[in-house]
Amino acid sequence: MKFRDGMWLQAPDKRVEYAEEIYSITERENKKLSLLCPTAHIHSRGDTLNRPTLTVDLEAVVDGIISVEVTHWHGAVNRGPHFDLFPGGRPSVEASIEKNDAGTTLVSGGIAATVTSQPHTFDIRFHSADGKHRLTSLLNRSVGLAYSPATSSPMDTADMRDFKHYILTQTTLGVGEQVYGLGERFGALNKVGQSISLWNADGGTSSDQAYKNVSFWLSNKGYGVFIDAPERVELEVGSERCCRVQTSVEGQRLKWYIIYGPTPKEVLSRYATLTGKPNKVPAWSFGLWLSTSFTTEYDEKTVNGFLEGMREREIPVQVFHYDCFWMRGFHWCDFEFMSSHFPDPKSQIARLKESGLITKVSVWINSYLGQASPVFKEAAEKGYLLKRKNGDIFQWDLWQAGMGIVDFTNPEACTWFVECLKKLFDTGVDTIKTDFGERIPTQDVQWHDPKVDPAKMHNYYAFIYNKLVFEALQDRYGKDEAVLFARSACAGTQRFPVHWGGDCESTFEAMAESLRGGISLGLSGFSSWSVDIGGFEGYPDAAIYKRWVQFGLLCSHSRLHGSNSYRVPWLIDDDDKSEQGCSAVLRKFTQLKCCLMPYLYSQAMESIKHGWPVSVRAMGLEFPEDRSAWSCDQQFMLGSSILVAPVFDESGDVEFYLPRGTWTSFWDDKTVKGPQWVREKHDFDTLPLYVREGTILVLGRPGEKRTTYNWTSPEEHEVRLYEPRANSRFSLYNAEGNLVTVLEAEENRGVWNVKDRQTDL
């Protein structure tokens, strides 16, 4: 939202008043500074009358984090829901307040904020505690309040029903500074120059709307900002003033946290401490998931035929997913298999698992109940559905006819919903696709909990929805065996993996959009991510399908899924049995992922521990000093050591960037020195896959078809060294997610070997 018309004028429909000076500084308990900031320069006692003030509170939160809260009217009720912060416990902090001629400095571990001592000036500088790194600042006209429409007199605000009130801040952008994150966004990776509204929407992958809006952004200058506001947040990232990031919310207060690294990985780790680390995910979930697709016609025979066809082609499937039409039309969600198509689902699922065709089963659900479903009547009678202010149940005909929305602010509704899930678990369902959760109304609604703000519930609903289902899975299967396939999210929802990219088209362009979305989400604190391989909308031709298979099998999680067409390979290319056919490509990359499991799963455990993305990891996270690396949005790191460059062209031509160092092709051991841009041409059975120098790479045996096996056993793995160095090391985890050993490179008379440090653990 823009509040000005260029540099000099205010927007015609807005009145903006800025904090013009820091009138007084008060020290509070727990190392907190409270700044009283009038919206005019105060030169005499008379200047204190008939004008607003803004309060800016600075607090030392934990090491490397300072919170900033701006408030206009303190009497405004601060309704929930509020983000669940420090879910793992709040660490202690070494904080201090120091004063000198330059001003008052609040220190919070490695970060500090200095408030100017200059009279009639508004100036707050954020920097490293040692003074070596300048981060950002709040300068002249950077903190303000605004009315829309513009007020003509303070008397107008006696009745606020026809006015909207906003709080805004503007942090400075340095020369060359870039901004990343803000959730799964499908446009340009660097957000500078963009206007962004953090408001969950079901908009596909080809617009500025997003399913996963996360109020956190990361600067390439070594810091990040988390905006503690579940409601709609509007950002002008160098788009109202080119040298500032403007954040605004409707209301009387705005709070955000500035998080210092200095490296981007350290910023993400501190952000994970603040909002929550992702839960561990089981090794089986990294295998191939095969879906029925959405509106396709399928029954028990179809499912069996698909899985038997995959086995015949030696393509291992770990999870079979039943999408929406496992239930009857107009009956979503009644949690009942359609008897005409699945007469005995429990027995069928048991047979599939016993035969070894699959390991696990997933089903689609959402939290919307169509009124034709018997569960709608039950939930309505018991008061479990969101209501309008007049007492009616909120209904509309968008998606399901007359659908209602489960009100998860009602504890009894939560208990009932979990009981519905338990019936699925009893049938043999192991994991849940939690679709939707974005279309949550804010007008004319009354939640069961009267203390919540409907505007805040819109985005936050995704958190409580996914949390409820994830914890139900944990209760049934164990703390580290729970897996979702979730679409909607807000800050903190990274605690409940996995998330997938939503509705993309079956095109190369949509494949690139999806990758940008995944990279952006990874820079927002999410470790695990997947995509609809082949594209959701449309009919992928063989070239698009195979290139998407290569990309999708090198994401942390991999699922074949479509809308109105199947995604089994033999239906894409008329069962081409050549080595360049769809089945052969899918077989090769599915088995490649199984072979990579010792490396991939170990990297996943490290990433989850720190709050980093496992795959589709931004190049800038690994090479933060390389300006070219930050610009790369068509390639990514798989963990810390493997570079992946998907092919976005039918011809097989691809251009990618190798940062400084020696890189080795995974396929043929060819080495290339970086930094440089490289052009290659690839058939459908390869893509650029390069291993970073200094890597100890642990792999399963060639042709491996399992994602869960005893890969820590020497009989089950091989170890490769790539340009080893004295500090080369690799932490190897087993399939249960436990650290088993640390491998280190050791030189003896010019020959490099690997030393096992297991005895030292």
Q: Which of 503, 532, 537, 573 is catalytic?
A: 503
Query: Does pLDDT of 134 surpass 90?
Result: yes
Question: Mean pLDDT throughout 695-720?
Answer: 95
- What distance lies between CA 754 and its chain's CA centroid? 36
Residue 624, preceding bond cis, omega within 30 degrees? no
Listed in order, the ranges of the chain carrying CATH 2.60.40.1760 are 9-75+92-151
In the structure encoding, which two tokens stand for residue 106, read together?
Answer: 């609040």
| pLDDT tens for each residue of 375-432 | 999 999 999 999 999 999 999 999 999 999 999 999 999 999 999 999 999 999 999 9
Which residues are within 8 A (CB) of 234 and not within 5 positions of it... i.e. 6 or more apart? Answer: 1, 195, 196, 197, 198, 247, 248, 249
Counting residues of the chain whose pLDDT is more than 70, the rounded percentage is 99
> How crowded is residue 392: how many other Cβ atoms within 10 Å of its Cβ?
10
**Tell me, what's the pLDDT at 756?**
84
| pLDDT tens for each residue of 555-569 | 999 999 999 999 999
**Tell me, what's the pLDDT at 761?**
43
Question: Mean pLDDT throughout 249-273?
Answer: 98
Distance CA 238, CA 225 (A): 15
Question: Mean pLDDT throughout 221-245?
Answer: 98
| pLDDT tens for each residue of 26-50 | 999 878 999 999 999 999 999 999 9
**Tell me, what's the pLDDT at 752?**
83
**Tell me, what's the pLDDT at 455?**
98
Domain 9-75+92-151: state its class: mainly beta
| pLDDT tens for each residue of 345-365 | 999 999 999 999 999 999 999
Query: Does pLDDT of 760 surpass 70?
Result: no
Q: Which of 59, 202, 228, 435 is catalytic?
A: 435
Q: Which of 116, 126, 115 is CA-nearest to residue 64?
A: 126
Listed in order, the ranges of the chain carrying CATH 2.60.40.1180 are 642-760
β-strand pairing of 143-148 with 15-18 = antiparallel
Q: 642-760 maps to which CATH number?
A: 2.60.40.1180
Distance CA 66, CA 236 (A): 22
In this prediction, residue 753 has a pLDDT band, given cuts at 50, 70 and 90, of confident
**Tell me, what's the pLDDT at 68?**
98
- Collapsing DSSP to helix, strand or coil, 410 comes out as coil
Q: Which of 336, 419, 424, 321 is CA-nearest to residue 372?
A: 336
Query: Does pLDDT of 534 surpass 50?
Result: yes
Question: Mean pLDDT throughout 448-458?
Answer: 98
User: Is 435 labeled as catalytic in the residue annotation?
Assistant: yes
Q: Which of 228, 438, 505, 573 is catalytic?
A: 438
What CA dihedral angle connects 147, 150, 152 and 156, to 10 degrees? -50
Q: What is 283-610's CATH topology? A: TIM Barrel (3.20.20)
User: Is 438 labeled as catalytic in the residue annotation?
Assistant: yes
Burial bucket for residue 8 (CB in 10 Å: 0-12, 13-18, 19+): exposed
**Tell me, what's the pLDDT at 348?**
97
Rounded to whole angstroms, what are the CA distances from 581 to 198, 309, 543, 545, 586? Answer: 42, 15, 9, 10, 9
| pLDDT tens for each residue of 632-685 | 999 999 999 999 999 999 999 999 999 999 999 999 999 999 999 999 999 999
In this prediction, residue 105 has a pLDDT band, given cuts at 50, 70 and 90, of very high
In the structure encoding, which two tokens stand for residue 89, read together?
Answer: 């416990």
What mean pLDDT value characterizes the chain?
96
**Tell me, what's the pLDDT at 754?**
87
Listed in order, the ranges of the chain carrying CATH 3.20.20.80 are 283-610
**Tell me, what's the pLDDT at 202?**
96
